[in-house]
Structures are given as C-alpha cells and as structure tokens.
Amino acid sequence: MEITRSKNNPLITKEDVPFRVNSIFNPGAVKINDTYLLLCRVELPTGRSSLVIAESRNGYDFKINDELFLTPDHHTKCYKYVEWGIEDARITPIDGKYFITYTGYSKYMPLIVLAETSDFKDVKIHGPISESSNKDCSLFPEKINGYYWKVDRPSAEHRKDIWINRSPDLIHWGRHQVLMNPEEGSWEQDKIGASSNPVKTDKGWLMLYHGVRGFGITSIYKLGVLLLDLNEPWKVIGKSKEPILSPDEEYERIGDVNNVVFSTGWIFEDNGNVKIYYSGADMNICLAETTVEDLLSVCK
C-alpha cells in the first residue's frame, strides 16, 4: 500500500503555539464543512496536559487558538480524576454532535472521560466512562444493533488488549468483550490500543490501532489498521499483517519519547483520500496520506 508523509512534516511544532508549552501532539481530528479541526494535546510547562484547537482550510496549514479549549479546571465535578492532565482526544460525530473521548490522568492513573460539543465553543463534560486503568477509547459514529459502541484498552495485570463494549446512552457501558490480542512474537507483541476512531466503509469498519514492542531500553510504537464487521463490530474480519507506519524520520525517532508514531485522528475525504494526523516522538503533529482502497487492501 502507499502511504505518503507530508513534505511539510512536522506540520505543527511547539514554536507554532502562541503560548508556552513543552510539546503539542496526539490530536483528535474532524472536518466540519470546509474546516479541518484538530483538538491537540499540549503539555504545559507544569508537565500537565490540556487540549487546544487548531484550524485549517486546506488540512495542511493550521492556526492554533490563543486559548485552551478544555483544561482539568473545567472538570469541576470530576477534577480528582483529571488533576494531572487531560490527554489524547478522539472526536466522533454522532447524531449531529461531536463526542470527545480522552484520557484523564491523576493519582488514580488513566481513565476515559467523555465530553460533547456542538460547536467547539461550549462543551458539556459527562465525566469518566471507565474505571482506572483504561485509555485509548474510540467511539463508533452510529448505533449498531440498537446500541452505541466503543473500543478501549483496560490494563489488567500484564495484559494490554483491545476490548469492545456497548451502551444505550453513551454513559452506561457493559457487555465487555475482548476485541483483539497483541500478536505474540511480532511488532505489536507488548501492547495494542485503538488509535483513530472507526469509520464506516462498504467492507466494514476501518480503525487505526497502535502496537508496541520493547527493545532494550526503548519501546517502538507503530500503527496498524483493522477491519471490523459492519453489523457485529466485535468481529475482526481483517488486519494489516505489517505496520502501515513506523518511526523512520528523525522527527519520529527523537523527542520526549523516542521511536513513536501515534495517531488519534484521521479524516476521510469524499474522493477516497485519507488524511492520517499523527505525532512523532510525542513532540509534534504530522500528516501521512493514503486512500480507503489502500487501507482496505492490507486488511487480510
């Protein structure tokens, strides 16, 4: 398959942020009419993260807002679960609204928080929708079999698998089941987690995931793609045998966390192109482009 890094990578670095940050990375992504909107994680000088909006008319040149969109302080009813920061937002349009899932970080360790917005100005925080430890949550954009669905990644003892579960109202979740295990002896053997949210195609739900393998003192984060059954999304019907993106470039190799490509947002264009926004080494925002056809072709 073909996947092409933007020649302007990294598209966004901390120098582009109009206030002081350590880094900007792991954006959720959505296209609203003709505007590309990224909800980016910024690690502030305190070492704690918040979320800021960046917007673009062409998907390549972004302008970052002067003010943070969502911070731990906004979480008045659940502050103790986000006190150390909010991280890695994924955006899913459902029924004309945008639902945002992200990691709340605190002494209770990571858990999943849900918020919703209609306009990316006002936001309603629903609060935690998982226990700790859990992260990497992606929502499906529509009901399937009468339920909303999400994938997530609980950490149980040494296991780190992707799970799937369902809800009547996006708040109460149950019927948890394992969606996929890391494949032993491969690039994803240590842990896997959902990356960019599931998108419907005529062949099934396409979803990005990340896989991690430890080598010596480093862990290497790569991206793969999954195809889930349209009506029974707990069934994996296809999976890339190799990563579709691996840390190769210097801006992916060297940073706060070396050897990482990580994605929490992608945009499917009407013409079949797919823009994968991702971060290199937990430091920046990059773009790689491919097509739905290419992504489907590697899901075997």
Please report, as ranges, the residues that interact with ligand BMA according to CB under 6 A.
26, 87-88, 221, 257, 260, 262, 282
Q: How far is the CB of 141 from ligand BMA (least distance, A)?
A: 23
Alpha helices in the chain (DSSP H): 250-253, 292-297
Enter the tokens of residue 2: 């073909």
Enter the tokens of residue 79: 């502050």
Q: How far is the CB of 250 from ligand BMA (least distance, A)?
A: 17
Nearest to 251 by CA among 21, 18, 3, 24: 24
Identity of the residue numbered 55? E
Nearest to 262 by CA among 198, 206, 219: 219
Environment class of residue 296 by beta-carbon count within 10 Å: exposed (0-12), middle (13-18) or buried (19+)? middle
Helix (H, G, I), strand (E, B) or coil at 267: strand
Nearer to ligand BMA, 193 or 233 (CB): 193
Identity of the residue numbered 72? P
Q: How far is the CB of 221 from ligand BMA (least distance, A)?
A: 5
Question: Which residue's Cβ lies closest to ligand BMA?
Answer: 257
Nearer to ligand BMA, 166 or 210 (CB): 210
- Residue 79 DSSP label: G
Nearer to ligand BMA, 110 or 204 (CB): 110
Q: How far is the CB of 86 from ligand BMA (least distance, A)?
A: 11
Nearer to ligand BMA, 39 or 170 (CB): 39
Residue whose pair of structure tokens reads 């430091």 in the numeric block:
283
SS3 content of the chain, % helix, strand, coil (to 5): 5, 50, 40
Q: How far is the CB of 269 from ligand BMA (least distance, A)?
A: 25
Nearer to ligand BMA, 208 or 227 (CB): 208
Nearer to ligand BMA, 148 or 188 (CB): 188
Nearer to ligand BMA, 226 or 227 (CB): 226
Q: How far is the CB of 1 from ligand BMA (least distance, A)?
A: 24
Report the half-sphere exposure of 172 (CA within 13 A, side-chain side). Answer: 2
Q: How far is the CB of 265 from ligand BMA (least distance, A)?
A: 13
Alpha helices in 173-230 (DSSP H): none
Environment class of residue 262 by beta-carbon count within 10 Å: exposed (0-12), middle (13-18) or buried (19+)? buried
Q: If you compute the radius of gyration of the chain from its CA atoms, what whole number of angstroms results?
A: 18
